[in-house]
């Protein structure tokens, strides 16, 4: 099995690559090669039992060797994140939409070869493609009505990939990821970055700013669980995901899946931090940020992901386990990356 990860230098791309290296197989098939693509050539995971090719380039002008002939699975993780896409409209559209177009074009060329099968494409969409705010608990059939450019671009990319799947250029599964918490490394330009900072920074002995009230609730997921879901989506039998009918009576497979995250308030997250490291939450201080609050305030606080559960996506762990997972998986690497003392 040949696999490509677009966005292979990002933290989720690195984690997916590491898990594939550990497992050596996907969907019961031995992995024969892995291609990692990003703006700069990603570092290959250590100890891979198969060839790993690192490719650098612009996703809009996707190099042929980013998705080579014979590719079976593409993880499409490359994106400009929420606040950055809101601040730079052109960049967000370029990467999040035109980059997806380039992926479709590449898969279309591959699938047109004699005997070729359309590659499975696992796309990281987002809960930012929905609205509803703090009072919402969205069912699987809720409409995507985004209130920010990032969410709009993700929803549009889902439709592009669904249509390309209908035309048999590729076989997409779009996972609408919750806010991933706790992200390793440094704060990024995502509007939701504070949801990681309020856990990560105190565990590093650093202060963190909280731009929303303590009662603010978010739909979140750990990196461990996100990786599990992405790998499960890569192996999923898409004939089981169900159809949706249009006004004409024609049907198409519903490619978008709301991942089974967990709804938590900031106060509950800080309480979990206190269980694991007493006194750490004192390093979090309220600093109102109306711009951030305006973006994340439109996102739904909870979902009822019945369909994902039926399709075998793993349920989420507790908040305390989420904090402990970051300590076990990423705390020391984050400390080293940021040059912080032990």
**Set 75, 150, 219, 299: catalytic member:** 150
Q: Which residues pair with 142 in a beta bridge?
A: none
- Per the CB < 8 A criterion, the answer to whether 212 and 313 are in contact is no
Give the list of residues 6+ apart from residue 68 with CB closer than 8 angstroms, or none: 2, 4, 35, 53
First to last CA, the chain: 41
CA gap 150, 87 in Å, rounded: 10
Using left for φ > 0, alpha for ψ between -120 and 50, and beta otherwise, residue 119 falls in beta
CA gap 129, 113 in Å, rounded: 34
The alpha carbon dihedral of 310, 226, 189, 137 has a sign of positive
Give the list of residues 6+ apart from residue 61 with CB closer than 8 angstroms, or none: 102
150 catalytic residue (yes or no) = yes
User: Which residues are part of the catalytic machinery?
Assistant: 150
């Amino acid at each position: 099995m040949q696999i490509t990860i677009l966005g292979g230098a990002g933290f989720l791309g690195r984690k997916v690559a590491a898990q594939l290296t550990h497992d050596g197989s996907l969907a019961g098939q031995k992995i024969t090669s892995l291609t990692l693509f990003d703006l700069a050539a990603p570092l290959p995971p250590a100890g891979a039992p198969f060839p790993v090719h690192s490719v650098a380039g612009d996703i809009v002008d996707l190099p042929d060797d980013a998705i080579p002939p014979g590719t079976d699975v593409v993880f499409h993780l490359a994106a400009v994140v929420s606040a950055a896409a809101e601040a730079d409209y052109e960049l967000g559209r370029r990467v999040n939409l035109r980059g997806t177009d380039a992926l479709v074009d590449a898969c279309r060329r591959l699938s047109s070869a004699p005997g070729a099968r359309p590659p499975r494409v696992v796309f990281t969409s987002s809960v930012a493609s929905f609205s509803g705010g703090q009072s919402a608990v969205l069912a699987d059939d809720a409409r995507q009505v985004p209130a920010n450019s990032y969410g709009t671009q993700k929803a549009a990319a889902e439709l592009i990939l669904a249509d390309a799947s209908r035309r048999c250029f590729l076989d997409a599964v779009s996972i609408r990821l919750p806010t991933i918490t706790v992200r390793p490394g440094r704060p990024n330009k995502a509007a939701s970055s504070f949801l990681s900072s309020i856990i990560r920074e105190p565990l590093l002995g650093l202060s963190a700013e909280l731009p929303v009230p303590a009662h603010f609730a978010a739909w979140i997921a750990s990196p461990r669980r996100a990786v599990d879901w992405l790998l499960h989506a890569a192996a999923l039998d898409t004939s089981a995901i169900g159809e949706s009918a249009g006004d004409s009576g024609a049907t198409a497979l519903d490619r978008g899946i709301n991942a089974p995250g967990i709804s938590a308030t900031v106060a509950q997250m800080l309480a979990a931090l206190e269980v694991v490291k007493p006194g750490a939450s004192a390093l979090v201080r309220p600093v109102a940020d109306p711009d951030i609050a305006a973006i994340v305030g439109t996102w739904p606080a909870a979902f009822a992901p019945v369909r994902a559960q039926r399709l075998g996506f793993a349920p989420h762990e507790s908040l305390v386990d989420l904090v402990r997972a970051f300590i076990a998986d990423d705390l020391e690497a984050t400390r080293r990356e940021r040059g912080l003392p032990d």
